Each structure stands twice: as structure tokens, then as C-alpha cells.
Amino acid sequence: MIDSVIAYIAALFAATGFWIPAVVVLVAGLMRGFAGFGSAMLMAPVFAVLFGPTDMIATVVAIELAVSLQLYPAARRDCDWRIIGPMSVVACLAMPLGAWLLASVDKGLIVKTVSGIIVVFVLIMATG
């Protein structure tokens, strides 16, 4: 298991090198530290271009999971489960459709769509 993870990471960095993704993760971590969110929004479009959409999803989810696990105990007590519960159920139900789209839609279209959605959300947040 560990060998396959190391091989996966080595394959990702073989084409891009280590420093570009490392700087992106560093800036994303600073953004998350200051704002409390947004690191995935910064990493997703850059990693989609560097790694491709499938590897971008796996990489961003793995990084976000590792970072978010430490926050879970406090967040579990403080969150409003009447809001989070239904949103989580809908997200879990939509996940198979998202995985199917990721596997079947043109990779260039996915990169452009993810980047466009993030730009729209940033513009909405900046103006609202």
C-alpha cells in the first residue's frame, strides 16, 4: 500500500517537478490559515492543469482530508447538523455522477469548467 502511494506521488511529480506543486500547497495553506477556507479553490485549477483532472481530484481530496481531520472533533460539536446532515447526504448521492463525469468527459473541458466555476465563486465572494 505504502509503495503504491509513493509510486503515485513520484509519477505526479515526474512531469511537473516538486517545487511548483509545493509552492501552490504552501500558498493554499497560508490562505486556509488566514481565511479558514479556500485552499482547495486555489489548488484545484492549478493541479488540474499540472496533473490532469483525475489526479487533481485525488490530490486535493487527500490534502484536504489530512488537514481537516484535526478540525473534526471541535467542528462536530459546533456545527448545525440540521444543515450539514442533508447537505452531506446530497453530496454522497451526487458523488457517483461526479465520478462518472470525471471518467467520461473530455479532460480539457473539465479543467476549463472547474477553473471557471472557481472564478465565478471568487467574483461572487469578492462583490458580495
What per-residue confidence (pLDDT) applies to 23?
A: 92
Over residues 115-122, mean pLDDT: 86
> E strands of the chain, at which residues?
none
User: Which pLDDT tens digit goes with each residue over 17-31?
Assistant: 888 899 999 999 998
30-60 residues labelled b (16+ CB within 10 A) or e (exposed):
ebbeeeeebbbbbbbbbbbebbbbeebbebb
Looking up cell 465565478 gives: 120
Residue written as cell 487527500?
62
Each residue's pLDDT tens digit, 64-116: 988 888 888 888 888 899 999 999 999 999 999 988 988 898 888 888 888 88
